[in-house]
Structure 1
Amino acid sequence: MNTCVLKSTYLLRGLFLALLVCANFYVAADTKVEAESKAETEAESDNQEEQLHTIVITLERRPTDKATQAASVGHLTEIEMDRVAAQHPAELLNRLPSVWVQQGSGQEHLTALRSPVLTGGAGSGSFLYLQDGVPLRSAGFANVNGLFGAQTGLARQIEVVRGPGDVTYGSNAIHGIFNVLSDDPLATSGGSGSLTLAEFERSDFSWKGGKSDSVSGLLAGVQIFHDGGYRDDSGVDQIKGQFAYGYSAAEYDMRLRLSLHHLEQETAGFVLGDNAYEDDALRRTNPNPEAFRDLDHALISAEFDIHELSGWQATITPYVRWTEMEFLMHFLPSKALEENDHWSLGFLSQFRRELNEQFELLVGFDWDYTEGNLTETQARPDIFSFTQGLHYDYQVTAKEMAPFARLRWQPSQDWQLQAGMRINHTRYDYDNKTVADSVGRFLRAADRDDSFTTVTSKLAASYQATNKDFWFASLARGARPPQTTDLYRLQINQTIGELDAETLDSFEMGWRHTNSSYQFEISAYSMRKRNFFFRDADGFNVTNGKTSHSGFELAANIDLNQQLNWQTSLSYGRHKYQFNRDVSRDSEIISSGDDIDTAPRWLANSRLLWDINSSWQSELELIYVDDYYTDAANSNDYSGHTVANLRLSWQPKPQVTLFARVRNIADKRFATRADFAFGNERYFPGEERNVAIGIKYWY
């Protein structure tokens, strides 16, 4: 560690200790406050409590009471996100049941949601990532790092739908949906700014503010993040920005939104060797100092809520998106450079009408047009069947259209039934810009077009047993066409045009209970997936895999007394192969009934919140990840880990909060990702104990 980093470390730890001393002194001293200040604090606390217990969501592309939804939905409020002060989306999302986002190097990540951690085309296309209800990327051009462009640092709420999405959502909502919601420009006045300083030369500055009246409103925000890098030759510079304008008229409300993202990342690769993440001489090294990732992304949308249209309520959202990325594929022997980009034009629409007191009809139509390009070039000499030179150079034009309909029937005050169907038609026009032949392991198809039509559906029932108890059950199918990289970045063992759309059938049921001092939700699910596409240990693509997924989840929020609150998320999942496959590597032979690799059965996140007094608050968080296999044959594994984090905040004035965060307070040696490939155990090491301090100001 260099002298600058050491000085920064000692300074941060000294400031944190000083803050702890102030806390103890403050608690021991006379803590009386003036009556008016106390009343204001209590009113704010009551308002926060109301936000926690009465949450509206956008599962149906409109605000809806969460308690009445026949689906498993997790959410993170702005209050909770302020408390976490996350440096990576994984710190937030892993607080929810059945969610496990593995942090890679920098801002990279892989996702599991009622699933194993998925990579490649499966990792890209199995989850639908939204910003204010609009997909961040086109369905066939998804990114395994799906949260890159999301405005998580400026969000007012994040919602996660577990399991196949409602028929209002289409391609890629196989295992679930992540929806990042920004502030409403028609309901925002004032703003906030925050600054966080942390070890490893990290700094995070964000600001957002808005002003609205009864007719219009403006909202803007920016986040600037710098990471000097925990490991050698690694680091991140990232800027995110958003702008929104709202206009309200008697006939409609309009919200125009712009979201921007720029990322420059120096990437660290896996450390290799048995339990290398425990070796202090290895864990901070970087075997791939040449690796990098650069990204630019923009999304513009205009949401029109039409109050009355011949008896219908309508929402129409046209959008334009653009993204461009280049990165070094350091995780493959080729270490090839990939450059990709795409731009899209499309709209989302839905029309809702109450037919009578019992029936409600919802219909809609979504459309998307995308043009995308990809090149892959290997600069290093031939290695195995990875050949030097150009691997792929192609363009794909994609057209997607999807009508859908859903009927909701409420036969009595306590019962509600719904049935819906969606038809997605996708057409890809592929233009090969190089010679159509095979080079080494790479197969380049001639120009062609491919079409896929998928039908997804959902049947659901819900029952309000008492004013505190709510039961639900649903039967749903999710589907997605192949990613364009699945179809056209081919290898020599594949047959051109052999891929089918992936489908997942799901059954789930759940129970919610809510009262003034505690709330909990228990849900169970069983799912089967067909035409699962992935890359095997020989580096070749499997096109017809079958898997099964089953488990249960618990989310609880309990007030132990007036000062202590306990929140926990617990999930158990069994994710298994349902087919056999032999490969040349014994450690990767797939046998039906074996666990899928990188699929821990147990996940838990538990938090104890302590309101020390009217100004001080602390949170102790425990994160548990069960052991899991790191190869398909279940012959290598990672032992799992338990990590603890501590957060402390002080609010000397209603508009000012000072905070400190200690991550990994026990200084545990663990891995954020463990894998076995090319005959080696390899890991992304988790960070040792580190401290962050910051300030947030509201106006």
Structure 2
Amino acid sequence: MTATREETTRASLPTNTSRLDADDISFLRAEEAGELLNRLPGVGIQPGNGVEHLTAIRSPVLTGGAGAGSFLYLENSVPLRAAGFANVNGLFEAHTEIAGAVEVVRGPGSAFYGSNAVHGLVNVISPAPGAPGFLDVSADTRGHVTGNALRGIESGRQGMLGGLTLTHDAGNQADSGYDTQKLTLVHRIDGPRITANTVLAAVNLNQETAGFIVGPEAYRNRTLSLTNPNPEAYRDAQALRLSSAVTASLGGPWHLTLTPFARWNEMTLFQHFLPYQGIEESGHWSLGTLSTLRRDLGTDGALFFGLDTEYTEGFLSEVQTLPSFGPFPQGVHYDYTVGALVIAPYLHLDIPVSTRVRLVGGLRAEWTRYDYDTATPADTTGRFRRPEASVDDFFTLTPKIGAVAQVTDEVQAFANYARGARAPQTSDLYRLQSFQEPGAVEVETLDSLEAGLRGRLGRARFEIVAFWMDKDNFFFRNADGLNVPDGKTRHRGVEGELALRLSDRLTFEGVGTYARHSYEFDDIVGNTSEIIRKGNDVDTAPRTIGSARLVWAPSARARIALEWQHMGAYYTDAANEHRYEGHDLLNLRASISPAEGVDLFGAVRNLLNTDHADRADFAFGSDRYFPGDGITASVGLRVPL
């Protein structure tokens, strides 16, 4: 679905796509998005505290504007947020708990996707009205309780579905925890010439946030791991989204899909991770349309013409309530608004050039305009610089070309070149510090080459992919507080995925990645731990990540899985002077169905009670960590609804 916003076969794609279907999601019963998506090759999502996370997809774990803007999070192929207003923790806004499927594309997306589809895409697909209804509740020994309800009805050509998730988490550190409520409503009409799929989604989060624990290998100190250096920290967020995908057959080979959408979100955040601990308020609303006109070519080809448009109004304010100290003045640091307009035409061609070879190509042009205004004086106060009101334009052109060959009836070889690009995040442009110059941020580009082999051989289903990616105009603020608008990084590696039926009742499943993510430039700063030299590993870029599991099904109604999770070692600073040694965890999951539609399930996470860090970092002269949970047992029950 993700590649062209409509159903297609994986075998016809000249690039990678990984998918978790409803059965995978149901059996895993992930407590956070990373637990779900880290089962896929090339994905290494690091949990923070509560619902927070940082993402890596064919990349280092990225933070700040790069972390927000390098990944495109979708709901039924519609972006969860406007591109220039992305959220580095964006997956908490997705309703993954009851999803019909989740698909991940590693590297740049097809011509159907623009800004933020750089290192990867995550598409959360809502369940269809015909999905089986259920009610379930689960709880674990750490105080995490979740309830899900799903119910659909169908009548003739119409169907409706409602899905609700309620979660309470007591927190693994003192004075922490969260409550979330997620609602998804679906209405579908299947007419003789027109289909319409309308989705309304709402999310509310109230979180008491715990900060890093500090000190060399502090995560090994189990008493310290339960403490919270920032008991006053919090995050409150709300989001509302509406989209309706309408597909019409225009007669003959022509088909039109229009997807109008609207979104709104707001968030208040206590910035415990900054010395001045400011309170940030941000939000935006958007109206837009995704449109595609498809012309079928013969019996097995298609040409797509598309135009995506979107208008957004957003705001951000930051206030320091602490008394002034050093370069951090009490009061308002930023208070600005941005109007954003995006217009993006594209072409996508998919044609067979022989009975066994397909050629797929595309081109997307994207124009972005930001109209920025500030309610504070346009000046510099302490460390904070507020640029003058401005109108800023950005243009990207992203070509794609690939081929897929049917080597045998069940094995395909594929190769693909794609450019990914993104307009800057508005926070990188307008939330400056004193030494930064306005207008220095440029369009970031990433050129990707990949080649792979996938298919079935006997009892095995497999995919292996090699990739090489070069990124230009990587923007960040260095340790001296200066703009670095022209950073370069290189990303190359191999990803593998294997499912092997060892017997009628025993299956092996595994994914693994070996990759090198390196700086391709020098940046000399006063803080020696943040000096960048060409060839250094990018910080928080493990060379190996993976997982494997043995799944035993003693009967058609029972399943037991023993899972191994691997996180390789990685440097925690740019100079490669400090290092986290990585970890390996074992998990056990089981499910039994004593009656039709009834499911009793449980899990033991971190079976060996291994000390580990969910995230390790070196900042402000200290090692700091988000500690991982010790051994945790959970149990739950699902009944039909």
- TM class by shorter chain equals over 0.9
TM-score relative to the length of structure 2: 0.98
In structure 1, the residue matched to 2:90 is: 146
Which of residues 638, 645, 649 is equivalent to 2:587? 645
Amino acid at match of 1:544: D
Q: Does 1:223 align with 2:165?
A: yes
TM-superposed CA distance for 1:441, in Å, is 1.2
1:348 aligns with 2:274: no
CA distance in 1, matches of 2:361, 2:610: 49
SS in 2 for 1:100: coil
Q: Which letter maps to 1:519? A: R
Letter in 2 for 1:238: T
Q: Secondary structure at the match of 1:148?
A: helix
User: Which stretches of structure 1, 4 residues or more, deviate above 6 A after TM superposition?
Assistant: none
Deviation string 1:415-445 (CA, Å, 9 cap, x unpaired) is 1112210000000000111101001111111
Residues 181 and 665 of structure 1, relative CA distance in 2, 3 Å threshold: same
Q: Which of 103, 116, 119 pairs up with 1:175?
A: 119
The within-5 A match list for 1:46-61 is 57-61=1-5
Structure 1, residues 498-529: CA drift from partner, whole Å, max 9, x if none? 21100000000010121452100000000000
- The range that moved more, 494-503 or 452-461, is 494-503
Deviates more, 1:537-546 or 1:650-659: 537-546
Which SS does the other structure have where 1:200 is aligned? coil
| Code of the aligned partner of 2:99 | A
Residue number in structure 1 paired with 2:399: 457
SS at match of 1:465: strand
Change over 3 Å in CA distance of 1:654–1:542 after alignment to 2: same
Out of 364, 389, 402, the position equivalent to 1:422 is 364
Q: Which residue of structure 2 lines up, in the alignment, with residue 10 of structure 1?
A: none
Q: C-alpha displacement at 1:358, in angstroms? A: 6.8
Unaligned runs of 5+ in 2: none
SS at match of 2:224: coil
How many positions carry a matched residue from both structures?
Answer: 641
Alignment partner, residue 80 of structure 1: 24
- Verify: 1:693 aligned to 2:635, yes or no: yes
Name the SS of the counterpart of 1:587 in structure 2: helix
The letter for the 2-side match of 1:69 is: L
Give the 3-state SS of the residue equivalent to 1:277 in structure 2.
Answer: helix
What are the Cα deviations for residues 637-672 of structure 1, in whole angstroms up to 9, with x where unaligned? 001000111011121112111111100000000000
Residue 390 of structure 2 corresponds to: 448
Q: Which residue identity does 1:694 align to in structure 2?
A: G
For 2:144, the equivalent position in structure 1 comes to: 202
Go from structure 1 to structure 2 and tell me whether the alpha carbon gap of 1:356 and 1:615 turns closer, same or farther (over 3 Å shift).
closer
Alpha-carbon distance in 2 for matches of 1:300, 1:589: 45
Asked if residue 134 in structure 1 is aligned to residue 51 in structure 2, the reply is no
Given that residues 14 and 360 in structure 2 are in contact (C-alpha distance below 8 angstroms), is that contact kept between their aligned partners in structure 1? no
Show structure 1 runs of 5+ residues with no match: 1-56
* Residue among 55, 72, 78 paired with 1:111: 55
Q: Give the distance between the partners of 1:414 and 1:113, measured in 2 at CA.
A: 31
Q: Which residue of 2 aligns with 1:18?
A: none
- Pairwise CA distance, 1:386: 2.3
Which position in structure 2 is the counterpart of 1:255? 197
1:567 to 494, 504, 509: 509
Alignment of structure 1 residues 583-594 onto 2, 5 Å:
583-594=525-536
- Could you say which residue in structure 2 is the equivalent of 1:682? 624
Structure holding more helix per residue: 1
The range that moved more, 287-296 or 65-74, is: 65-74
Instruction: Answer whether contact 2:248 2:256 (CA < 8 A) is retained.
Output: yes
Does the CA-based 8 Å contact 2:410-2:457 persist in structure 1?
A: yes
Normalization by structure 1: what TM-score?
Answer: 0.90
Is the aligned partner of 1:654 residue 2:593? Answer: no
Aligned to 1:5: none
CA distance in 2, matches of 1:357, 1:151: 37
Post-superposition offset of 1:534: 2.1
Indicate whether 1:71 and 2:33 are aligned. Answer: no
Query: Structure 1 pair 517/698, CA: closer, same or farther in 2 (3 Å)?
Result: farther
Q: How does 1:535-614 map to 2 (within 5 A)?
A: 535-614=477-556
CA distance in structure 1 between the aligned counterparts of 2:145 and 2:563, rounded to whole angstroms? 23
Q: 1:474 aligns with which of 416, 425, 428?
A: 416
Determine the C-alpha separation between the residues in 1 that align with 2:67 and 2:326. Answer: 26
Q: CA deviation at 1:83?
A: 1.2
Q: Which amino acid is 2:587 matched to?
A: N
**8 Å contact 1:173–1:479 — kept in the other structure?**
yes
Q: Tell me, what secondary structure is at the counterpart of 2:487?
A: strand
CA deviation map 1:613-658 (0-9, x unaligned): 3333210110001100000000000010001110111211121111
Q: Which amino acid aligns with 2:560?
A: S
- What is the DSSP-based 3-state SS (H/G/I as helix, E as strand, rest coil) of the residue aligned with 1:477? strand
Structure 1 position 118, deviation (Å): 0.3
Whole-Å separation in 1 of the counterparts to 2:246 and 2:276:
48
Distance 1:308 1:73, change over 3 A: same
Distance 1:653 1:355 in 2: 49
Q: Is the 8 A contact 1:537 1:677 kept in 2?
A: no
Residue 623 of structure 1 aligns to a residue whose secondary structure is: strand
User: Alignment RMSD, CA only?
Assistant: 1.2
| Alignment partners' CA distance in 2, 1:630 and 1:369 | 38
Question: For residues 331 and 216 of structure 1, do their structure 2 counterparts lie closer, same or farther at Cα, with a shift above 3 Å needed?
Answer: same
- The secondary structure found in structure 2 opposite 1:113 is coil
Q: Which residue of 1 aligns with 2:269?
A: 327
- Structure 1: distance between partners of 2:298 and 2:385: 58
Deviations 1:460-509 (Å, cap 9, x if unpaired)?
A: 01100111210000111000000000100012222211211000000000
* 1:270 to partner: Cα distance: 0.2
Query: 1:535: Cα distance to partner?
Result: 3.2
Partner-residue secondary structure (3-state), 1:99: coil
1:358 to 1:303, Cα distance in 2 relative to 1, 3 A: closer
The one-letter amino acid paired with 1:438 is T
Q: Is the 8 A contact 1:537 1:678 kept in 2?
A: no
| Native 8 Å contact 1:261 1:296 kept in 2 | yes
Q: Secondary structure at the match of 1:81?
A: helix
Is 1:308 the counterpart of 2:246? The answer is no
Equivalent pair of 2:435/2:481 in contact (CA under 8 Å): no
Q: Which moved more, 1:301-310 or 1:644-653?
A: 301-310
Deviation of 1:582 (Å): 1.1
Look up the match of 2:238.
Answer: 296
Code of the residue aligned with 2:620 in structure 1: it is F
SS across alignment from 2:292: strand
Is contact 2:43–2:56 with CA below 8 Å preserved after alignment?
A: yes
Residue 310 (structure 1) shift: 6.3
Residues 198/359 of structure 1: CA separation in 2 closer, same or farther (3 Å cut): closer
Structure 2 counterpart of 1:487, from 413, 418, 429: 429
Identify the match of residue 382 of structure 1 among 324, 328, 345.
324
Structure 2 residue identity aligned to 1:361: L
Q: Of residues 285, 303, 309 in structure 1, which corresponds to 2:227?
A: 285
The alpha-carbon distance between structure 1 residues 309 and 446, as it changes in their structure 2 partners (threshold 3 A), is farther
Q: Does 1:529 align with 2:452?
A: no
Contact map agreement 1:611 1:618 (CA 8 A) in 2: yes
Match of 2:374 among 432, 435, 450: 432
Amino acid aligned to 2:160: L
Paired with 2:321 and 2:370, the residues of 1 have a C-alpha distance of 30
Tell me, yes or no, if the aligned pair for 2:315 and 2:336 is still in contact at 8 Å: yes
Shift of 1:540: 4.6
The 3-state SS of whatever aligns with 2:236 is strand
Amino acid at match of 2:464: I
Maintained 8 Å contact 2:436/2:481: no
